[in-house]
Amino acid sequence: MSKLLSLAWLAMLGAADVCAQTDSAPQEQPAVKAADKQIQQVTISGGRASDMDERRNSVAGKQVFGREELDRNGDTNLGDVLKRLPGVTLGGRPGRGGDVRMRGMGSGYTQILVNGERPPAGFSMESLAPDQVERIEIMRGPVAEHSTRAIAGTINIILRDGYQQRDKQLKLTDSIEQGRHSPNVSLTVPGKTGGLTWLLTGSVFENRQHDQTETHNLDTRDDGVAVKDENVIDATRRATRGLFLTPRLSYKFDGGDTLNFQPFLMVNRSDSDARSDLTQNAGLVPPNLLLPPEYNLALTGAHSESTFLRGFGNWVHKLEGAAKLDVKFGFGAGHSDNDSLRYQYDNADNLLDRYTDTATVRDRSANTGGKYSTPIGRQHSLAAGWDIELGHREETKVSVDKNGVPQFADSGDNLTAETKRVALFAQDEWDISAQWSGYAGVRWEGIRTTSSGASTGDVSNTSSVFSPLLHVVYRIPGHDKDQLRASLTKSYKAANIQDLIALPSLSRLNSATRPDRTGNPNLKPELATGLDLAYEHYLGRAGILSVSGFIRNIEDLIRRDIALESTSTGPRWVSTPRNIGHAQSKGIELEAKFQLQELVADAPAIDFRSNYSHFWSSVDDIPGPNNRLDAQPRQTANIGADYRMKALPLTLGGSLNWTPETLIQSSLSQLVYTSRKRSFDAYGLWRFNANNQLRISANNLVAEDAIGANTVRTNGLTQLANTINQTYVVWSVKYEMKF
């Protein structure tokens, strides 16, 4: 750990020294570009500012990562791209993705948008192919025109939009993990006729994986007597096939108006076979306390399929005096079906039970919104708008044993839920002077969720949040490369529909460490007041040194409680969410990114990038010392470099992503441990010519086991589950051509 931090700090300090020497030499002060003085606005044009210019000119802090970053390592899923970005981590083990987290905060604290809109329920961003994405925008603080459901920040995924693209592109990829091949084919076709331009992008893939998890369960009474000591080995083989389509159509009318429409289709089909072997260790457990295991062998076959269709559109109408009206519209539809059949046997291969589980989910949504913007003087812009979104969900779960006995009270019932979200916003963006730019915004957002079920009856939850937002940029006089940022914001985290209203999610090896999960319709949203500060020093065309800090005070924090409850099938451990009180999170974030040739004459063509974050957090109603926000690590770091050879058309690069071990007191009774995560990725790119290139990459070269421990102490019993998840190296070969 210390070596890695030393490398990152030395690189940052070395870059700062070089920059200081360069800046101290006599030189002409370049004139401030007009683009730097103008207010950053969304415009429909044939091009856009560079990623670094867009970041620099944005009043509300925003980082932009375009095709260069998306293509760098030849990744086949977006999660592998995100894990290398500053302050972003993934919750799962290396190679398997997980929930996306900014500043170490996941579970809804990080807002995920696709084209500025919330994706449909059940959408998995890690499964999105990078070839479908034009750029990624990361916003540390919320802005009024997007939802303020962004306590940690916002990640906005912009799908391919065809800026200045003229060539057709074909990419052929094969990824290999444990000898299993996962091919992927991606095609991009641009076109134009008259006022109509289009970009047709599609991908098809097949993914084959094998996972193995070893779990040691140990239950101990307060008097020190062990009453359970068992080992479980779970092995799963999975094959997934999928299709992505993201066409984009844009029509420019004679009067200057523009109509854009971009549907997005994601189709996935998956088949898996799982084997679970359970063995008891009788040495620690007295014979009179030893209970027969639930099974010795379990075999499960499962099939799942999901389809999501989302449509994004907007009409931009130019008005007098440079004003404009941007009207958005969209729709979404999705369905998922999951079926599994599980057989459980004793050690003599006698059938103990058979469980049949089916789950169907149907989602529909429609949304509209708009923004009216107008200049109100030189370098001063005012905007106001609205958002309306309607959602409908139907969910059915059936779980029965070999005798047809339901496994929970609502088995077979149809649960319906309706969600209505309405928002109004206004924002004022103003270049006050050559040194000062400011942004002031307000947003009111209300959400109402209602549901009905045969046993639950009618349930409703209503919440609303008013969010004032302030962002300021100060450009230091005489130092045109330096600027300071400050933000004071209100944001929130709404309970998702699964936490509010959900049919139970059953655990087949039920315990306090593997409980069933259910919802709570009385949850209130978490409210946060946030302060962000940052210093930025820009280097050359695409370099930056930055130091930033943040603090979030959170009210009505949501956590899950675990309790033993009476159910229709007997006592079961159940996890239920509830509001528990106040929490605080704060941190510092460092970033260094530069091209060595722009700083040192005749230097090798090396691009360097690194970032380091340190986080502190505490939850008032949970005793310390590990009463941190759920799953938030204390630190995270990335370091990477790319080297373009002069004698050969070859580029070599690599990156290391590091997160230390974490120990979290999740509740009064639960303590969760997660081992460190080190993911080392490398690639080589050979350019045959301007239209053909070959990329070979390897992800997770370290391939460390992911180790976890979950301890729950309640009712005079301590239940411990130690898990070991294997991880694997993934090799990829990608051939890219333009024609």
What pLDDT band is residue 163 in, cutting at 50, 70 and 90? low
305-315 per-position pLDDT tens digit: 999 999 999 99
Q: Give the pLDDT of residue 162.
A: 56
Q: Is the pLDDT of residue 8 over 50?
A: no
Please, is 155 exposed, middle or buried when counting C-beta atoms within 10 Å of its C-beta (0-12, 13-18, 19+)? buried
Q: Is the pLDDT of residue 376 over 90?
A: no
97-140 per-position pLDDT tens digit: 778 889 988 778 999 998 888 887 667 776 677 888 889 999 99
Q: Give the pLDDT of residue 305.
A: 95
Q: Give the pLDDT of residue 296.
A: 95
- Return the exposure string of 371-389: e unless at least 16 CB atoms fall within 10 Å of the residue's CB, then b: bbbbeeeeeebbbbbebeb
Ramachandran class of 682: left when φ > 0, alpha when ψ lies in -120 to 50, beta otherwise: beta
Q: Is the pLDDT of residue 356 over 50?
A: yes
DSSP 406: B
Q: Is the pLDDT of residue 225 over 70?
A: yes
Give the CA-trace dihedral at 544, 546, 552, 558, to 10 degrees: 50
Sketch the domain layout of the chain as residue ranges. Answer: 2-738
Q: Give the pLDDT of residue 582.
A: 95
Q: Which residues, 6+ apart, have CB-to-CB distance to 601 below 8 Å?
A: none
Q: Give the pLDDT of residue 1.
A: 39
Bond from prior residue into 26 cis (ω within 30 degrees of 0): no
Q: Give the pLDDT of residue 327.
A: 96
Lowest mean pLDDT among 91-95, 121-125, 272-276, 292-296: 121-125
Q: How far apart are CA 40 and CA 17, in angstroms?
A: 32
DSSP 125: G
* DSSP element (H, E) containing 62: strand 62-65
Q: Is the pLDDT of residue 270 over 90?
A: yes
Q: Give the pLDDT of residue 13.
A: 35
What pLDDT band is residue 243 in, cutting at 50, 70 and 90? very high
Q: Which residues, 6+ apart, have CB-to-CB distance to 739 below 8 Å?
A: 167, 168, 170, 691
Can you tell me the mean pLDDT for 430-438? 92
CB contact at 8 A, 160 and 246: yes
Q: Is the pLDDT of residue 151 over 60?
A: yes
Q: Give the pLDDT of residue 569.
A: 77
Q: How far apart are CA 621 and CA 606, in angstroms?
A: 49
Q: How far apart are CA 116 and CA 145, in angstroms?
A: 9
Percent of the chain with pLDDT over 70: 91
Biggest CA-to-CA distance, the chain: 88
Arithmetic mean of pLDDT over the chain: 87
Q: How far apart are CA 739 and CA 734, in angstroms?
A: 16
Strands 482-493 and 457-475: antiparallel
Q: Give the pLDDT of residue 425.
A: 97
CB contact at 8 A, 336 and 122: yes
Query: What SS3 string covers 534-547?
Result: EEEEEECCCEEEEE
Q: How far apart are CA 253 and CA 552, in angstroms?
A: 46
What pLDDT band is residue 521 in, cutting at 50, 70 and 90? confident
CB contact at 8 A, 380 and 321: no
What pLDDT band is residue 377 in, cutting at 50, 70 and 90? confident
What pLDDT band is residue 454 in, cutting at 50, 70 and 90? low
Q: How far apart are CA 325 and CA 316, in angstroms?
A: 6
Q: How far apart are CA 629 and CA 551, in angstroms?
A: 13
Q: Which residue has the higher pLDDT, 94 or 418?
A: 418
Q: How far apart are CA 431 and CA 434, in angstroms?
A: 7
Q: How far apart are CA 221 and CA 513, in angstroms?
A: 15
Residue type for 48, please? Answer: R
Can you point out the beta strands (E) in 222-257?
A: 226-245, 248-252
Name the range with the highest mean pLDDT among 158-162, 485-489, 536-540.
485-489
Lowest mean pLDDT among 80-89, 575-584, 652-661, 682-691: 80-89
Q: Give the pLDDT of residue 282.
A: 74
The superfamily (CATH) of domain 2-738 is TonB-dependent receptor, beta-barrel domain (2.40.170.20)
Residue with the two structure tokens 């030499």: 25
Can you tell me the mean pLDDT for 422-436? 94
Q: Which long-range contacts (CB under 8 A, 24 or more apart) does 668-671 make?
A: 668/622, 668/623, 669/512, 669/562, 669/712, 669/713, 669/714, 670/562, 670/710, 670/711, 670/712, 671/626, 671/709, 671/710, 671/711, 671/712
Percent of the chain with pLDDT over 90: 62
CB contact at 8 A, 361 and 122: yes
* DSSP element (H, E) containing 598: helix 596-599
Q: How far apart are CA 248 and CA 162, in angstroms?
A: 8
Lowest mean pLDDT among 39-48, 215-224, 289-298: 39-48
Q: How far apart are CA 641 and CA 83, in angstroms?
A: 15
Can you point out the beta strands (E) in 115-152?
A: 133-139
What pLDDT band is residue 705 in, cutting at 50, 70 and 90? very high
Q: Which residue has the higher pLDDT, 444 or 118?
A: 444
Q: Give the pLDDT of residue 83.
A: 84
Lowest mean pLDDT among 115-119, 211-215, 281-285, 610-614: 281-285
Q: Which residue has the higher pLDDT, 569 or 293?
A: 293
Q: Is the pLDDT of residue 42 over 50?
A: no
Q: Give the pLDDT of residue 122.
A: 65
Q: Give the pLDDT of residue 497.
A: 80
Token pair listed for 271: 């088949």
Q: Give the pLDDT of residue 29.
A: 38
Strands 570-595 and 516-517: parallel
Q: How far apart are CA 54 and CA 703, in angstroms?
A: 37
